[in-house]
Structure 1
């Protein structure tokens, strides 16, 4: 097995480090009980004794995609499409251990600043060429090249052009600009699909990867069709003959397709939309604990949110317990205006912020808004975001904050989500806290929708990234969480258990903490 990053300096490998296991046990992820929401958690081992059946076409309903260029994808539907064609170096399992995929082993000789990855031999791209170190180097160089339209740079700021090099045909070295103890997790950011070294940016026309399926047809806003890759490196897989991803503009048509037999599963669903499916005997809803959350971001460089008191007032208006119950059916965890989720196992010791309209009014008056103010709130039409926006509108009203809602098609919202003054954005679950801390709030991050900058925070996150000692990590995570909780660039009301509805004959595929879609082991009973 390959090295997990939270232990040792070299490659004595275990599937899950003791520190990570302690974190998970402390947070309740190992052996976690279920909330009484009517939603079952279906572990992947539940049907392990049943032999897979080969053949058939799996039909999956996913959100519409604006672009399927791996360098530019930023929506769940596009990510799902690309993940059938291409693969990552590693894959994060539900317990946050790392499964080798295109890499078979990895280690750091110097405490996290340099990482050496050994590549799987005999892997071939769909065009017949062997995957080598040249392809891995070219993939990561494209991701960080400032001349490329890559959305990945915000997620891997410590990797610069020229930092990824070839050691030999099947070995790659990453020389980071600072130690990052959990760097292997970053090789599974959704843009990091390994592509041929001569990839020309025409993925929709020439989709070439190493994955279990080959894309044979793609019609934007309609569908993507795939056929089994007969030369897949993992002998005997995939089990399916074909996959059909139907692209939909909103959840309701997806639900109707699942109910009416036009789809076998959905990529994801909100707890609200899942309610009509709970009593359907032929449908089950898989559930995964995650760090996925929603950021109600406030532009700190524009009025009225340039005043911290106004931002705190917004946070004080939210009834988090009610939102968790109404929007998620209890399938999640309370948030406290920072993104360090319980699944990470960091013991955050902050007093839980609770609704206090009187205090919110007092803060607004002190900030020069004794009668409140008017504000436009933008969000996308995806999962429970529209319902969240409506609840927020209702909860802010008693303090005098008069909200006008703009619920836009998800693709439209993502065209300007970092530019609006007040925006509600879905954030996919990450596998380490530093990933979302740096991407959402880093001073130089392109995804910092609040435009919040704090040099001390950036330094703190860099220390957290580099640290493998659990006590030190705990201290640093608490400081980072406290900074965000106190300055409130974004209100974070809850963390989400991700749901994936499917017909009961769908086997070998479960919910995923990042809403990723791995169909390598999927089959139809």
Structure 2
């Protein structure tokens, strides 16, 4: 079976800054279209003095923005419609059992002039697979039994079991392709890639500087002559840099200050519906959360609309206690939306044999900006249902090591994942390392395995619909809202349709955006 794209129902919610791009095809342009030339400066969070170019240790931010979006390519990229499109791969094919995937490489050169081959791809993947690797992609790639070359331009992946979404895996932000060192290892220290830019300067925690290649194999990408990425971790400092003209683009505009940027005449917001969500996690093996009716009582006790309006200031969408966002393929749009219902919450408390409930919620803005405010809103709405909720405010420092997954009820955050299988397998499957609620459901786990190997999209949709309903009604995660990705830019920067899988056009702004004043 030959596949070139994976379709999904995409939903793009753009702010005023994206208005020019609506209605265009993935590589189409607005007005006079993109132009080559000019220098652009980006203020980005996620930089540290400990950063390296090693793709195994990156957690996103500055390095991923520069390397994934500028210097290198992955086998597959995610487009503005959320589809898996061949990138460094020319095409990919799958066996009937979805367990063997064959990727044919296009003719492309590294910036040092050497052609990319199957050996480079294998070295790039194996860098994350060894027993001693600390790679963030190690668990993701554990499904691979074998990678082999079939000539210089064909790579075959044999999986332990079928995975109909495997092309999305190859688009993970750790898996950019770099050269083999001649001995089967990845030469990541060279900073050499197949992308539209060369790495000219890298000062960890401070800046990256890139220069456009004239011989890039994508004729319709990489428009800037030069790109400088500045590490600006503080959100207020990033916004000030944009307003004063120190930078042209920033990522991660906080919802509480969106209105301030929106008033600036030469500054525009770039906003899309994303996959980020904010669970209140109840550990299902700890009392009282081991009772499904207690979990349901709390889920009916949250005023989702109020939380969306006051915490995200409307820059998001309502959650329905499962992690599949409205913008994603297989989102169960017809699943009844859970609403605030104190009487229904009391009903489930009575079913659990309780007339009142006292619980403590560990909350910190280290989980997400506004987490403490969200916890206080839950405290107030839950009181109407006879639930006395104490908010235990915890410091941001050490939250993810000392509180997350350590206490029975806590605030959390997930950036989401491109596919339902990926998100469910990572956080909701029985035995998953990051199953933060310690939830186990036999029917859910059986469906997860079946859906992963099913190539019929309609059958998969039915399975994922049922799985979302099971999460909503039995799971340990209360998910009241999804957040939008909000970036900022000056009016000298333009772009086409926006990908919604990460900030800054899926971290591809360096390759896809351009200047209007050159």
Contact kept, 8 Å, 1:364 with 1:370, in 2: the verdict is: yes
Give 3-state SS (helix, strand or coil) of 2:274's partner.
coil
**Retained in 2: the 8 A contact 1:292–1:513?**
no
> Pairwise CA RMSD of aligned residues?
3.2
Instruction: Measure, in 1, the Cα distance between the counterparts of 2:60 and 2:301.
Output: 30
Post-superposition offset of 1:172: 0.5
Name the structure 2 match of 1:299.
283
Return the offset for 1:447.
Answer: 2.6
Aligned residue among 501, 506, 511 for 1:520: 511
Cα 1:72–1:51 shift into 2, 3 Å: closer
Partner of 2:56: 71
Q: TM-score, normalised by structure 1?
A: 0.83
Larger deviation, residues 358-367 vs 446-455: 358-367
Please state whether the residue corresponding to 2:413 is helix, strand or coil.
strand
Change in 2 beyond 3 A, CA 1:329/1:247: same
- Determine helix, strand or coil for the equivalent of 1:88: coil
| CA gap 1:38/1:121 in 2 versus in 1, 3 angstroms | closer
The partner residue of 1:454 within 429, 441, 444 is 441
Structure 2 CA distance for aligned equivalents of residues 148 and 213 of structure 1? 28
Aligned length: 497
Residue 93 (structure 1) aligned to one of 79, 84, 87: 79
Equivalent residue of 1:461, what SS? helix
Name the structure 2 match of 1:380: 366
* Stretch of structure 1 that moved more, 488-497 or 446-455: 446-455
Equivalences for residues 119-268 of structure 1 within 5 A: 119-124=105-110, 126-157=111-142, 159-160=143-144, 162-198=145-181, 206-234=190-218, 238-268=222-252
Question: CA–CA distance in 2 between the matches of 1:52 and 1:171?
Answer: 34
Task: Check 1:456–1:284 CA distance in 2 against 1; reply closer, same or farther (3 A cut).
Answer: same
Which residue of 61, 67, 86 maps to 1:82?
67
Find the aligned partners of 2:383 and 2:489 in 1 and give their Cα distance.
39
Trace 1:421-460 onto structure 2 (pairs within 5 A). Answer: 421=407, 422-460=409-447
Contact map agreement 2:321 2:480 (CA 8 A) in 1 = yes
1:286-313 alpha-carbon deviations (Å, 9 max, x no partner):
2223333223323333444334334333
Match 1:277 to one of 240, 244, 261:
261
Q: Residues 366 and 399 of structure 2 are in contact (CA less than 8 Å); yes or no, is this contact kept in structure 1?
A: yes
Q: Tell whether the 8 Å contact from 1:58 to 1:240 is kept in structure 2 after alignment.
A: no
Take 1:76 and 1:156, find their aligned partners in 2: how far apart are those partners? 22
Of 62, 70, 80, which aligns to 2:45? 62
Q: Does 1:400 align with 2:388?
A: yes
Q: 1:486 to 1:521 in 2, by over 3 A?
A: closer
Does the CA contact (< 8 Å) of 1:498 and 1:511 recur in 2?
Answer: no
Counterpart in the other structure of 2:102:
116
Residues 222, 247 of structure 1: 8 Å contact kept: yes
Distance in 1 between residues matched to 2:47 and 2:74, nearest whole Å: 23
5+ residue gaps in structure 2?
A: none
Q: Aligned partners of 2:379 and 2:208: how far apart in 1?
A: 37
Q: What is the TM-score when the length of structure 2 is the normalising length?
A: 0.84
Structure 1: 5+ residue runs without aligned partners?
1-8
